């Protein structure tokens, strides 16, 4: 094979830049013979030719094997340096960068006349692997050592992708000044070499790269001059003519000449022959139209890149601009409709669908600020991204947006998970900071104060100006509040001090001082002793430092509360009254008036408290504390046994404040209790029945409602002993018996059922005593300590009563004495009743000694019964003495 023939083949298969110094020689050999001649058709020449043909036909794995075998067999071949170079290039083509570089560096001593080629291809390999800095140095060395030669121009700019020259390596590194320095230098390698071959592709690419660099450096006029210096008629390749026109339009647009750029974009589209160039031409024309103030026309042009035939990157870029313009040009409802329609027209996994879904989700989220019903639509779109685009770069943004949806829906646990994922994925400082901040907010609400403080503190490591200016003081304030909640007063004080030093004019400055003082007043730890005197020092220091602070009402209110917390009621009442006079129009007035009434109640000024709460409920009926004021008034009347007024106030509470949470349900129960105590059984029945039928009522209150209903039906049975009344009482009480003994009310219900069946057995059916014994016996046989003393004593007493009715005095005495002779855990009421019954049986048996013993046991347990028991004991003693026993 002749040198020229081989050179042409190499250009064809890999383009310029593959010229080797070893093959640019005179004569028919591949390189200058180093060790003698080789027959043209000998085995060695044929082996080299076979390997080269494999390389020429792009069979790089076979070429690597053939050249490797050639080097092993012909260790002294004159083609050895060439074979090593081709072997290295075969590895490069297979992305074995380390293998290629190591081979060329290891055999550099054998390169001979190919030394610069070895350096050149080492640089090529490094550039392909991403080691651009060292690649640029290698290209520079070649350009320097081969002056004014084709290789020098090639070293300055190579025509084949993804090969790189020194300037291109600087471009890939973003070193545009370096590119300009290399290509614009008058006596530099590129300028000199381009002057000798002005019509070469290398020169054209060099000028285009220089124009691109000037565009990046915002020197469009200079760049346009460079590009216009390229005669399009002299460019032999279509892609170079398109690149020239594309860069020219870009430079004109950057130079403020949108009209010229728009006119040139028509020529650009005519030059675009392949899909990629067509897509880039349409996109540039769309940008020019936007710059020309024709966004609607730009949308039409971008739409040409949204077809299925376009390349994914072209679709994504066009879709991004389409979304931005759609949002900018339309009111929110129309933008949502347009974007929803656009998504529906494209395949679910089409390029850019993740961006479209996130954008639509954000539009719905924005609209949901005024209409929370739209949160579901926002979640639907964001869920698609999270579930179906797990590798999307927008996943962090989608998680942040979905976290906001959960936050607005009050689903804080779900919001915490999404904010945490977003904080881990987002890279933009501001977005990352918002995700971190909301994660900490969610942890704070969930009472994980240590984790919240940690994430607020982590936010402080973000030094982006938009973060430090917008969030640092608030983050410090939240750290202080988190530390206070977990009892770390020292940490809270440190955070407050930073706010005062770093942000002296911040809204949170005075507020943080207020918070610092409050830290001495309250916290999550109920066993902690709070320093109210220290709190007052902080508050007074704040008033001294900022006497006109807008927080003045809050600070003076906080000072009043320090006395309230200390139990210094007179000072607290005095401060509250002074505050109400000085700040009569402040939004805090209702809260202050409430605590003034409460302090009066604690101080024993009951009439003042009653008047205060009554006036509060009338004056501030919509305040969140109004139901609590009504509850205080109702409780007061109930305790005073004015059941009619108690019922009235409880009723007003649940009727006017149905959203008062558990307090609303409790007021229904106590309205029933008040009616029952006032002998208004039908009203009581209505209250309790409605309570047990409320689906959201607390289970414990529902249970108490059924218990009360059972007693009401039983009272009706006592007045009119019909089986229907008793069955209703039993049915209500039977709803509560599951769960005993763990459920105290279930145990109590078993005892009540025993009472109900006892009443029926006494007057209607003695066979029912078996059921009575079953009810009471169940309680007695529960493990010790699993039921209350009152429940166990009542059951034992009931069993004693049944035994007497069945004329079994011995068994009756056993049950009564189980109550009297308790093991330390007893109920005084039942000890008195059981003792009375046991003593009566002993007296009926004229067993005065045991009767006297029982009375003494009862007296030991219930000393308050002494006046009554002493008389009975004296009588028993007299009988005992008379009997002479």
Interval 811-822: pLDDT, tens = 988 998 988 887
How far apart CA 536 and CA 308 sit, in angstroms, is 71
The average pLDDT across 27-45 equals 53
Asked whether the predicted pLDDT for residue 173 surpasses 90, the reply is: no
In the structure, what pLDDT confidence band is assigned to residue 161 with cuts at 50, 70 and 90? very low
What is the model's pLDDT at position 268?
87
Q: Are 590 and 620 in contact (CB under 8 A)?
A: yes
CB atoms within 10 A of CB 410: 10
Buried b (16+ CB within 10 A) or exposed e, 827-860: bbebbbbbbbbbbebbbeeebbebbbbbbebbbe
* Band of pLDDT at residue 543, cut at 50, 70 and 90: low
Please check whether residue 242 is in contact with residue 272, taking contact to mean a CB–CB distance below 8 angstroms. Answer: yes
| pLDDT for residue 484 | 62
The conformational region for residue 464 under phi > 0 = left, psi -120 to 50 = alpha, else beta, is: beta
pLDDT for position 470: 58
SS3 sequence of 63-108: HHHHHHHHHHHCCCCCCHHHHHHHHHHHHHHCCCHHHHHHHHHHCH
Secondary structure (DSSP) of 123-188: HHHHHHHT-HHHHHHHHHHHHHHSTTSHHHHHHH---STT---HHHHHHHTT-HHHHHHHHH-TTS
User: What rounded mean pLDDT belongs to the chain?
Assistant: 81
Report d(CA 45, CA 57) in Å as an integer. Answer: 18
For 117-126, 185-194, 547-556, 739-748, which range has the lowest pLDDT when averaged over its residues? 547-556
Q: Which residues of 504-513 are buried (b: 16+ CB within 10 A; e: fewer)?
A: eebebbbbbb
pTM above 0.75, yes or no: no
Q: For residue 651, what are its two tokens?
A: 């009723």
pLDDT at res. 164: 36
- Please give the DSSP secondary-structure letter assigned to residue 234: G
Give pLDDT tens digits for 422-431: 999 988 888 8
DSSP labels, 722-777: -HHHHHHHHHHHHTT-TTTTTSHHHHHHHHHHHHHHHHHHHHT-GGGHHHHHHHHH
In this model, does residue 575 exceed pLDDT 50? yes
Indicate if the alpha-carbon torsion angle 383, 320, 308, 314 is positive or negative. Answer: negative
pLDDT digits (tens, 9 = 90+) for 383-428: 999 999 999 999 999 999 999 999 899 999 999 999 999 999 988 8
Q: What confidence tens digit (pLDDT) does each residue in 604-630 have? A: 999 999 999 999 999 999 999 999 999
Start-to-end CA distance of the chain, whole Å, equals 145
Averaged pLDDT for residues 433-454: 87
Q: What's the mean pLDDT in 650-662?
A: 92
Take residue 284 and report the two structure tokens written for it.
Answer: 């540039």
What pLDDT does residue 604 have?
Answer: 92
CA angle 692, 695, 698 (to 5 degrees): 70
H helix or E strand, kind and range, residue 47: helix 43-56
Asked if 678 and 650 touch (Cβ cutoff 8 Å), the reply is: no
Residue bearing the bigger pLDDT, 497 or 712: 712
Single out the residue of 384, 410, 379, 409 nearest to residue 395, CA to CA.
384
DSSP per residue, 650-717: HHHHHHH-TTSTHHHHHHHHHHHHHHHHTT-HHHHHHHHHHHHT-TTS-HHHHHHHHHHHHHHHHHHH
Beta strand spans in 552-623 (E) = none
pLDDT tens string 201-220: 778 888 889 899 999 999 99
Is pLDDT larger for residue 761 or for residue 495? 761
pLDDT in tens, 187-201: 777 777 777 766 677
Ordered alpha helix ranges (H), 304-350: 312-329, 332-344
Say whether pLDDT at 500 is over 60.
no
The average pLDDT across 224-247 equals: 86
Round to whole Å and give the CA distance between 848 and 643.
Answer: 47
Nearest by Cα to 243 from 219, 198, 293, 207 = 207
Upstream peptide bond of 162 is cis (omega within 30 degrees of 0): yes
DSSP, res 114:
G
Contact 616, 594 (CB under 8 A): yes
pLDDT of 703 over the 80 cut: yes
Using an 8 Å Cβ cutoff, are 562 and 532 in contact? yes
* Distance (Å) of CA 468 to CA 283, 314, 347, 799: 37, 37, 42, 76
**DSSP 8-state symbol, 449:** H
Residue 762, classified by CB atoms within 10 Å of its CB into exposed (0-12), middle (13-18) or buried (19+), is: middle
∠ CA 221-222-224, nearest 5°, is 65
Give the residue from 299, 296, 228 showing the smallest Cα distance to 257. 228
For residue 16, give every residue at least 6 positions away whose Cβ sits within 8 Å of its Cβ, in sequence order, or none.
154, 158, 159, 160, 201, 202
Question: Contact at 8 Å (CB) between 625 and 594?
Answer: yes
> How far apart are the C-alpha atoms of 532 and 520, rounded to whole Å?
6
Q: By the 8 A CB rule, do 74 and 44 touch?
A: yes
464 confidence band (pLDDT: 50, 70, 90): low
pLDDT band at 319 (very low <50, low <70, confident <90, very high): confident
pLDDT at 551 over 70: no
What is the model's pLDDT at position 162?
28
Instruction: Say which residues have a Cβ less than 8 Å from residue 468's Cβ, sequence separation at least 6.
Output: 462
């Amino acid at each position: 094979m002749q040198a020229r023939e081989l050179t042409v083949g190499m250009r064809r298969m890999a383009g310029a830049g593959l010229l080797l110094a070893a093959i640019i020689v005179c004569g028919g050999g591949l390189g200058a013979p180093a060790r003698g001649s080789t027959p043209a058709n000998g085995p060695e020449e044929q082996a080299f030719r076979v390997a080269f043909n494999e390389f020429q036909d792009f069979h790089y794995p076979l070429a690597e094997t053939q050249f490797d075998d050639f080097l092993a067999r012909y260790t002294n071949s004159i083609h050895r340096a060439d074979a090593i170079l081709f072997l290295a290039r075969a590895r490069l083509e297979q992305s074995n960068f380390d293998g290629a570089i190591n081979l060329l560096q290891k055999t550099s001593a054998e390169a001979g006349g190919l030394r610069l080629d070895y350096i050149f291809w080492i640089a090529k390999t490094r550039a392909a692997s991403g080691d651009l800095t060292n690649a640029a140095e290698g290209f520079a060395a070649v350009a320097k050592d081969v002056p004014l030669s084709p290789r020098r121009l090639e070293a300055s700019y190579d025509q084949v992708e993804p090969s790189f020259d020194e300037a291109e390596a600087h471009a890939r590194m973003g070193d545009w000044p370096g590119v300009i320095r290399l290509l614009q230098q008058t006596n530099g390698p590129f300028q000199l070499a381009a002057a000798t071959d002005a019509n070469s592709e290398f020169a054209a690419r060099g000028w285009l790269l220089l124009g691109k660099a000037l565009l990046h450096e915002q020197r469009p006029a200079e760049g346009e001059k460079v590009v216009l210096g390229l005669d399009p008629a002299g460019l032999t390749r279509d892609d170079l003519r398109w690149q020239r026109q594309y860069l020219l339009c870009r430079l004109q647009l950057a130079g403020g000449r949108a009209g010229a750029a728009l006119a040139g974009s028509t020529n650009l589209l005519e030059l675009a022959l392949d899909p990629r160039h067509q897509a880039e031409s349409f996109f540039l024309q769309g940008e020019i139209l936007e710059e020309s103030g024709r966004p609607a026309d730009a949308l039409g042009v971008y739409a040409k890149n949204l077809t299925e035939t376009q390349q994914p990157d072209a679709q994504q870029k066009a879709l991004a601009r389409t979304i931005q313009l759609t949002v900018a040009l339309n009111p929110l409802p129309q933008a949502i409709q347009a974007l929803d329609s656009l998504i529906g027209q494209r395949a679910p996994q089409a390029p850019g669908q993740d961006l479209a879904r996130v954008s639509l989700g954000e539009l719905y989220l924005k609209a949901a600020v005024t209409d929370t019903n739209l949160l579901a639509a926002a979640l639907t779109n964001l869920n698609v991204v999270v579930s179906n685009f797990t590798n999307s770069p927008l996943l962090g943004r989608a998680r942040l947006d979905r976290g906001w949806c959960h936050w607005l829906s009050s689903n804080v646990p779900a919001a915490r998970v999404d904010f945490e994922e977003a904080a881990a994925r987002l890279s933009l400082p501001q977005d990352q900071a918002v995700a971190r901040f909301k994660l900490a907010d969610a942890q704070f609400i969930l009472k994980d104060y240590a984790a919240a403080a940690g994430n607020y503190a982590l936010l402080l490591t973000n030094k982006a100006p938009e973060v430090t200016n917008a969030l640092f003081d608030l983050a410090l304030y939240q750290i202080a509040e988190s530390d206070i909640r977990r009892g770390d007063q020292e940490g809270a004080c440190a955070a407050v001090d930073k706010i005062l030093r770093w942000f002296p004019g911040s809204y949170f400055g005075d507020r943080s001082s207020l918070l610092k003082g409050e830290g001495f007043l309250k916290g999550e730890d109920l066993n902690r002793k709070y320093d109210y005197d220290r709190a007052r020092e902080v508050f007074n220091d704040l008033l001294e430092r900022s006497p006109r602070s807008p927080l003045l009402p809050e600070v003076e209110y906080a000072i009043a509360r320090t006395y309230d917390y200390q139990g210094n009621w007179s000072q607290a009442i005095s401060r509250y009254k002074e505050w109400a006079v000085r700040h009569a129009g402040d939004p805090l007035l209702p809260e202050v008036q409430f605590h003034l009434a409460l302090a009066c109640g604690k101080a024993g000024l009951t009439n003042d408290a009653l008047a205060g709460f009554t006036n509060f409920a009338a004056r501030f009926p919509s305040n969140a504390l109004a139901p609590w004021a009504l509850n205080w008034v109702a409780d007061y009347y109930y305790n005073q046994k004015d059941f009619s007024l108690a019922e009235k106030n409880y009723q007003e509470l649940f009727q006017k404040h149905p959203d008062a949470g558990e307090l609303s349900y409790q007021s229904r129960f106590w309205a029933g209790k008040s009616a029952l105590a006032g002998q208004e059984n039908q009203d009581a029945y209505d209250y309790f029945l409605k309570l047990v039928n409320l689906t959201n009522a607390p289970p414990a209150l529902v249970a108490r409602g059924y218990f009360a209903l059972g007693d009401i039906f039983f009272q009706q049975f006592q007045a009119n002993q019909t089986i229907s009344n008793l069955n209703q009482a039993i049915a209500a009480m039977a709803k509560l018996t599951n769960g005993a003994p763990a459920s105290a009310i279930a145990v109590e219900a078993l005892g009540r059922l025993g009472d109900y069946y006892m009443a029926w057995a006494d007057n209607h059916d003695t066979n029912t005593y078996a059921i009575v014994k079953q009810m009471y016996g169940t309680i007695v046989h529960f493990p010790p300590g699993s039921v209350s003393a009152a429940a166990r004593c009542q059951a034992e007493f009931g069993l004693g009563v049944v035994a007497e009715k069945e004329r079994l005095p011995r068994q009756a005495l056993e049950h009564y004495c189980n109550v009297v002779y308790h093991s330390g855990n007893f109920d005084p009421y039942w000890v008195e009743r059981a003792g009375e019954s046991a003593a009566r049986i002993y007296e009926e048996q004229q067993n005065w000694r045991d009767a006297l013993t029982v009375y003494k046991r009862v007296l030991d347990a219930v000393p308050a019964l002494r006046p009554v028991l002493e008389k009975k004991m004296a009588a028993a003693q007299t009988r005992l003495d008379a009997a002479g026993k």
